[in-house]
Structures are given as structure tokens and as C-alpha cells.
Chains A and B, each alone.
Chain A
């Protein structure tokens, strides 16, 4: 049984470059009884896939609309500072605001993946993580369903700690599910 204390100690155990600081799993946090909330841009197909994958694991997603302040204010009202974990797949603006708001509310960034459309129309995933995590995510084989795969596996994955950044470029000529670049992210409570 993972306790909240064990989870938080795990999150604090590894320092890292930049602002990635944790190495827990969301599954562990869930097991410890900690609330997990998702914020997902459901206006795009990839976001809807991601939401579906999370929902199958019991994590409800709030829709990220045009004003990120609305959803973030709701989180701040609903939970005590440092008392929740947030997982997101959003556009850049919401990620940046969530990260900063999270830091003001006792959370640290534990995962960031950049999912960018390249000028040639291909999709590039830039991730920082352990080799086994990358392998489990299987984004290189997921093609246009990468967001579902990410949502399915990210919950159980050990978050990256100080691992090296990896870049995966998929061969999808022009993703049908996505018109802009997206960021996946996880904010976890500070120890």
C-alpha cells in the first residue's frame, strides 16, 4: 500500500534539471487516495482520445476552454494547496499557466511532453523519460492514436526524474486528430 507520505517522499527523492523534479507514478498517488484531475483540450480529436483513455482509468477530465483561468480557478477552489495531482493535454498557453499556477499552489512539474506538428506535416513527440517508460508509451507505433496510448500508459509510468530527453517523430503524414501543437503534462504535490 502506498501511503501519501511514501508517495510524496518518492516525489522528492530525485532532483532534476530545469523544472522537472519528481519520480512518482499517478497510479501510486491514486492508490494513496490522492485526487487526480485532468485538464484536457477536448476541442481537438487527440484531446478527446486522451480523455477517453483517462476516463477508462477512473480519472475525470475538465474541458480546457478558451480562457484557462476558468478551469484553473476551479481547481484552486476545489482543492487545498498541494493536495491534488493534475494531468493535462492542452495547448501551450494552458500548460504554461497551469505550471505557474501549480507552482504557486504547492505543485511541481513531473512530466512534460511536447507534441509538435513539423513544417513537413509530421508529428514530433519530444519527451523526457526513462527508456522503459518511452517503450511503454509506444508513441512511435501509435500513429494517429498516440494520445490514447499516452493517456493509457502515462498513469502507470514512472515519471521522469533526471532522465534524458528523447525525441520521437511519427510517420503520420498529417495527423487527422490535431491541428496545432499540444503539450502533455503532470503536476504533482510538492513533498
Chain B
């Protein structure tokens, strides 16, 4: 049995809590032994020891009623619960809590697809429903709707949306496509947002706003409540679809490509999120680094050039899709081709071009909502298992793209790492995802990765770039960079936390929101 206990809770009280929780969910579903599955809640990817965030136990209720009873016990005894579900949330800390000793509240058993409305194109899901599961449900029942999934197909539909993750079809902004929540507060109170607050509502999952203040947003990336059900809009299967990739031969092409993309996105010529991965990101799912370079430090230009030539990849690679009737696809593709043809050496690929190209295949699947796990092959690049995502937001301009790229690449190289990154253009902004890969079995390298990440937070903030999401170990650090007017926003978060969860039992420290005066 784990000897860890939640901070501030006596061993005696903790044993009492576990016994009472076992009486609710059954012995099997309160896990406090490493050999019985507790180790599956460890964060084994971050640049810090998994013991710094190892939970004392995990509890897995099967339904809302059991969850309510567990939460009431935790509330009464002051047991901190860290919520997770089907997803693994790797690169951001996995299912592990902020502090060692907290109890993981695992909602994986609450995994029912409660409803799919084929006509109005939405589903209602519980937290444990994965992308694979929802996709299979639609396939099995021959429902002509697409899901939009994150790259890791084992992720939770609800969990990813509530973390404000993104996908690859025109429905890629997952929180935007969410409609209607059921939420439980720290004292066990259950309520529904928007139209769901009506007893006999028939539009809970059709109209987001309801009547009165719109609350859904405060339950995303938050610890104010536990989302127990969520409506998610699904995309009707389009009459046509054409994925495309444009490879760009020079690093400098990033500037022009980004400026070309901005109006194409704002005017919705390209309806889905456009990705611009660099050479290494797009190659790493296909080959390990050691095939081209086994030396220390970042991969040299000569090796990069050989890899680009062998794999027929660009230094940057623009990836997106077109959807709808064929004449509309053809017209929009003409506009896009003309725009990118201004970049010397740009090469254009669509649909069945590039047979056998593993990365192109999984990108195409994602752009039509087919979940898979191929992107995990990025971890084969270095092979040591460690990875953490640095994810700043920036304007969609060539100047910003190049500035961010140069800033992060130069620091990564200084610390001995490759730059592996991609820009994801949304409605107006870009998510810049820098995947920091390191060998976690190498202590010195892991330490360097930790330090590099911290430095990047400060340097990005100094230039006005803030992260949209982060790993457990950097939540407080990043919260501090959102400090306008004497930390007014975070003070407000804490006031809300105090009002809704006065004992601070729900996911303490999530995004830097700690309870009370801690």
C-alpha cells in the first residue's frame, strides 16, 4: 500500500476516507497499491521525478450517484481530489495530480455515449468516453457524422474539450463545439448550464447560452467543479473532402507562408485548423533521429538536408483540408495554390499523393476525424520517453512566427535539443507547439529540459506571448505571467474558488488556482 497521504490529512482520517469510498464504489475501485494499478497514475514523461506528483490513491466511481457520494466524503474529510478521465494528457503531466499525495478522481468508468442526435448533429457524453469509443459508436450505428479528435485517439472527448484542446477538422476548436454541461460542485450540488437548466429543455445541446450569465467557460481548465456530462457538436459527413500538404524548401519560407495563411483562414477559404510542422516534427513519426545523426547536440544542417531530401519533406510543411461539394473545393484549392505558388520551390500534394508516407496518412485520418495513435511515434525520435509541450499563442503574422521560431530554436539548440515544432493557425491566432523531447533515463538531460522550459516561459512572456495550456510543473509559473493589474485575474479566480469550493478539495493548484490562502 502507498504510504503517501494528502497534505494536511492524518493517516487515520485518510484510512477512514478510503474505507468510506470503498463502501460506495467497491474495493476494487479505490486503488492505493502500486502493484494494483496506482502506478498508472504516475507522470512518467515530464522533466521531473514522477514521485513529486505521485498520488496516494485513486478512486473511480461508476456513475453520477457514486461520484456525488465520493465528493461528499472528500468534502467532509478535506480530501483533495484531482480529476482525470479516459485521456492521458501526456506532455501536460498525464493523469498525475499537482502534488504528491492527492487522490486521483478517475472518471474512466463513467463512459457512456448518452445520446447521438443524427438530425441536429450532436452527442452527449460522459467524461470517460474516448475518441476511439465515440468514433466506433458512430461507425457501428452507421451514423453519418464525424467526430473531431485530438492526435492521441485514446483521449477523452470531454476531457480534451475542457482542457481547450484542438483537433483537425473544421470542428477543431473543441471548447467552441461544446454545448451544454452538467457539473458537480465540491459540496455535491449538481446543475446544468445553458438551456439544460430548464426541467424539460429540448435545446440543451443546441443553444449554448441559455438565459442569464454564461458559465460554461469557468469550468474549462479549472477546478471550480467536475463536469459530468457534455454536449458536443458533430460534423455532418461532407459531400467531398480534399486534404492537402504544401512543402516549403527553406526555413525562411515560414514568414511568407504565415502571412499567406492569415487571410485564407480569416475568410474561411481554409475551414480547418492549418498546421505548419517543421521538418523534424513531420519526419520524426517516420524515422528515428539516429538514422541521420548519432552525435550530441542539435541535428546539424547537413543531416537535416539529407533527411529532407530522402523523405521529400520541406523545412516547413503546410497541412490542411477542404470540405464540401467538389466545385467549391476546386475553387478554393485554386485560390490556395495561386497564393502559395509565390513561394519558390513550394510543392503541392493532395489526397492519394505520397503513398506510404506514414505522417501524411495519419494527418489525413485526423482531418477526417479518424482517431489513431500514430503521432506518439514522435517519441521514437530521441527514444528516451521524455516530452513536454511548450505552447505559446501568437498573432498569425510572419513576423511573429519567425520571431517565436528563432527565439525557441536558438534556446533549444543552446541547451542541446532539437527544435521540433508546429504552428497551428486557428480563427485569428496561432498555437505554437514546441515539443521538447528528451531522454528521461539521462538525469542531466532531463534537468536541462526542465530549465529550458522555465526559461522559455519567461522569455516568451517578455515578448507578450502566453501559453494556452501547460504541464503540471509549470502551472504556477505561467499563471504569474498573466499578471495584468496586480494579478487581478488570478485574484478573481481565487475568489470564485473560495465561493464554490471553500475547502479547496477539487484539483487544488490546477492552472495555478490554489484554495484559500495557501
Chain A residues within CB distance 8 Å of chain B = 12, 15, 18-19, 21, 66-69, 73, 91-93, 96-97, 100-101, 103-104, 106, 108, 114, 116-121, 126, 179-181, 190-191
Contacts and interface: CB of A to CB of B under 8 A. Distances in A.
B377 to A, nearest CB: 5
Contacts of B376: 68, 93, 96-97
A114 B373 contact: no
Contacts of B50: 18
A41 to B, nearest CB: 10
Interface in B101-146: 108, 132
B372 A67 contact: yes
A93 B288 contact: no
B290 A181 contact: yes
A2 to B, nearest CB: 20
Nearest to B154: A69
Pairs A-B, 5 closest by C-beta atoms: A180-B288, A181-B383, A103-B40, A69-B373, A93-B376
Contact of A108 (B35, B42, B154): B35
Contact of B384 (A69, A92, A97, A119): A92
B383 A91 contact: yes
A93 B377 contact: yes
B291 A180 contact: yes
A66 B374 contact: yes
Contacts of B294: 117-121
Given A66-B358, A121-B294, A180-B380, A96 B373 contact: no
B415 interface: no
A69 B372 CA distance: 6
Interface string B273-290: 000000000000101111
Q: Which of A66, A100, A101 has the most CB of B within 10 A?
A: A66
Given A67-B362, A67-B372, A103 B37 contact: yes
B37 A190 contact: yes
B40 A179 contact: no
Nearest to B94: A100
A190 B36 contact: yes
A180 B381 CA distance: 8
Given A12-B35, A180-B383, A126 B291 contact: no
Contact of A119 (B88, B108, B288, B296): B296
A68 B373 contact: yes
A43 B397 CA distance: 41
A126 B132 CA distance: 35
Contacts of B108: 104
Contacts of A69: 132, 153-154, 371-374
Contacts of B358: 66
A103 B378 contact: no
A19 B34 contact: yes
A15 to B, nearest CB: 6
Given A67-B373, A73-B132, 20 more contacts: A15-B34, A19-B34, A19-B39, A21-B39, A66-B374, A66-B377, A69-B132, A69-B154, A91-B377, A91-B379, A91-B380, A93-B379, A96-B379, A103-B37, A116-B439, A116-B441, A179-B290, A181-B288, A190-B35, A190-B37
Contacts of A15: 34-35
A114 B374 CA distance: 21
Contacts of B8: none
A179 B291 contact: yes
Nearest to B372: A67
